[in-house]
Every structure is written in structure tokens, then in C-alpha cells.
Amino acid sequence: MQSSHVPHHIAIVMDGNGRWANKRFMPRIAGHKQGVESLKRCAKACDARGVRVLTVFAFSSENWKRPTEEVTGLMDLFAMALAREVQQLKADGVQLRFVGERQGLSARVLKGIEQSEADTAANTRLVLNVCFNYGGRWDIVHAAAKLAGSGQPVNEQTLSSAMSLAHVPDPDLVIRTGGELRISNFLLWQSAYSEFEFVDTLWPDFDEIALDAAIASYSSRERRFGKTSEQIKPNAPAGAEG
Ligand code: IPE
Ligand code: IPE
Ligand code: MG
């Protein structure tokens, strides 16, 4: 077992808002609203624990297929939450980055994205990547198209640096709330060697205790990256390094 340590980069599929609302006989959008509160709490808790990058899945390329009412509600909520929260995020040292396809977003949403990125660009405490209109396949195709147009060779390094999270290291820990055991087109490329934690807790209920449990689980694992256990243990026998 490795010594207890905090992941540098945590990525989260914030799932379960709709079920949280259904259980309370509330409209699904009420769950999404509570989801924003949960994200604020989680970002603060991550910062307090020394996490430096938090990446969250807020709206997938496929979420456009939901009923119009929910999509419109989510877009409105996103624009409102940005406008309301940006000054606090700025004061807290959070650098906001939006990751995903911007074509197809409304002028209002785009303005909120651009403004809040500009307002928080100089912050360095915590990078908060919000994946919005994002899909892992989109990310890979987008990067490949960029490379193809640039004349650069295609290899893991050039492709990585053309991807949307090139400004941060790969996630150490990927958490999915809401009980589903799937990745739903999240960070397909970047999660190649991430540790995964699937929890039943619905996203609006995901609190500091749940975060600590996920971090504790992470810190008890041995990340081998293809090597043997003997190679990565600090007091490995001579000749086993590499
Ligand atoms: C995740 O919660 C938020 C988004 C996808 C926007 P859901 O809305 O998927 O909640 P469930 O899975 O239906 O409970
Ligand atoms: C994944 O959740 C996307 C986000 C959390 C934004 P979904 O609720 O869209 O995933 P599926 O449809 O259950 O796979
Ligand atoms: Mg869901």
C-alpha cells in the first residue's frame, strides 16, 4: 500500500441530479440547481485538501438529446450560475476553464464562458475545468483534425498537446456519482491510467465525507503504470528499478 496522498487532479462525472429531484417529487431542474451547490462545496473541499485541478462533467455532447425543457433549463442555469458565482470564484483563487465544443452554444452562454475565463485567468490556486458540451470522442477527433491541419507528426505527445486538457496533467482519480458503472464519453484519452471510484451517492448529496472516502480509497491503491509492484516500491531490490 502506498503512503496516504491526495490526488493532484480529480475528475468527476456529476451524475444523479435528476434522481435526487425525483425522490423529492421536484422537477429535474431542481436537482441540477442543487448540483451547482454541490459543485461549489466540492471545489472548496478539494482546495482545502490540496487538490490542484478539478475537472467536472457538466453537460455531455449527448445531453442535447434530452427533452427541450431540460436542455433549456440547463443552459439558463449554467449562464445564471456563472454570472452569480464568478466574483466569488475569482476571490477564492479559482481559475475557470471551459472544455468542449463552443459552436452551437447560445450567445449568452458563450459570453458567460468568455467573461468568466478572462476574469479568473490569473488565478493559480485551483484550476476548475468545466466540461460543457464535451465528449471524449469529440476531444480526440478535434485534436486529430487540428494536428492533421498543422503538418505535425501524429504521436501520443502531439495528440495529447492538441487535446482540450493539455494545460493540466491527466486525472489521477475519476469519480462517478449516481451509481452507474460507465464512463459516458468522459475523458476517454486522459483517463488511460486514472484510478476510478464509482459511488452510489447522488451528486447533490456528494459532500466532504464522500470526497474524503474517495480520496482514502485512491490513496490505498498501488498505481503501477504497467510495471510490477516490486519495481515501484521505494525499497525495491537492486536491479528492479526502471
Ligand atoms: C447529471 O445528472 C447532470 C447532467 C447530465 C446534466 P442527471 O440529470 O443525469 O441525473 P440522473 O442520472 O437522471 O439522476
Ligand atoms: C453523464 O451523465 C454526463 C454528465 C454528468 C454531464 P448522463 O446521465 O448523461 O449519462 P448516461 O446517459 O446515464 O450514460
Ligand atoms: Mg444521469
Which of 15, 38, 186, 199 best tests ligand 2's pocket when mutated (most atoms within 8 Å of CB)? 15
Residues with Cβ within 6 A of ligand 2?
A: 13-15, 57-60, 63, 180, 182, 184
Span 194-231, pLDDT tens digits: 999 999 999 999 999 999 999 999 999 999 999 999 99
Query: How far is 242 from 232, CA to CA, in rounded Å?
Result: 8
What is the rounded radius of gyration, in angstroms, for the C-alpha atoms of the chain? Answer: 19
What is the C-alpha to C-alpha distance for residues 153 and 156, in angstroms, rounded to an integer? 10
63 pLDDT more than 90: yes
Span from the CA of 19 to the centroid of ligand 3 (angstroms): 8
Which tens digit of pLDDT belongs to each residue from 21-51? Answer: 999 999 999 999 999 999 999 999 999 999 9
Query: C-alpha dihedral over 89, 94, 95, 101, to 10 degrees?
Result: -60
How many angstroms does the Cα of residue 179 sit away from the middle of ligand 1?
11
Q: What is the dihedral of CA 184, 208, 119, 135, to 10 degrees?
A: 0
Candidates 216, 180, 217, 234; CA nearest to 13 is: 180
Residue 181, CA distances (Å) to 98, 153, 194, 196 in order: 25, 36, 15, 10
Verify whether ligand 1 is closer than 6 Å to residue 16 (CB atom).
Answer: yes
Return the pLDDT at 2.
Answer: 40
Residue nearest to atom 12 of ligand 1 (CA): 16
The CATH classification number of 9-232 equals 3.40.1180.10
Regarding the beta carbon of 139 and ligand 1, being less than 6 Å apart is answered no
Check whether 1 has a pLDDT greater than 60. no
Question: Which contiguous run of DSSP H or E holds residue 98?
Answer: strand 94-99
Q: Is the pLDDT of residue 238 over 90?
A: no
Ligand 1: does its nearest atom lie under 6 Å from the Cβ of 120? no
**pLDDT one-digit tens code per residue, 92-138:** 999 999 999 999 999 999 999 999 999 999 999 999 999 999 999 99
pLDDT band at residue 239 using 50, 70 and 90 as cut-offs: low
pTM for the predicted model, two decimal places: 0.95
pLDDT score, position 233 = 87
Tell me: pLDDT of 6 over 70: yes
Query: What region, left, alpha or beta, does residue 30 occupy, with left being phi > 0 and alpha being psi -120 to 50 degrees?
Result: alpha
Predicted pLDDT of residue 73: 98
pLDDT at 9: 98
pLDDT at 236 over 70: no
Task: Report the separation in Å between the CA atom of 23 and the middle of ligand 3, taken as the mean of its atom positions.
Answer: 14
pLDDT tens digits for range 125-177:
999 999 999 999 999 999 999 999 899 999 999 999 999 999 999 999 999 99
Is the per-residue pLDDT at 237 higher than 90?
A: no
In this prediction, residue 4 has a pLDDT band, given cuts at 50, 70 and 90, of: low
Note the pLDDT of residue 234.
Answer: 73
Host H or E run for residue 9 = strand 9-13
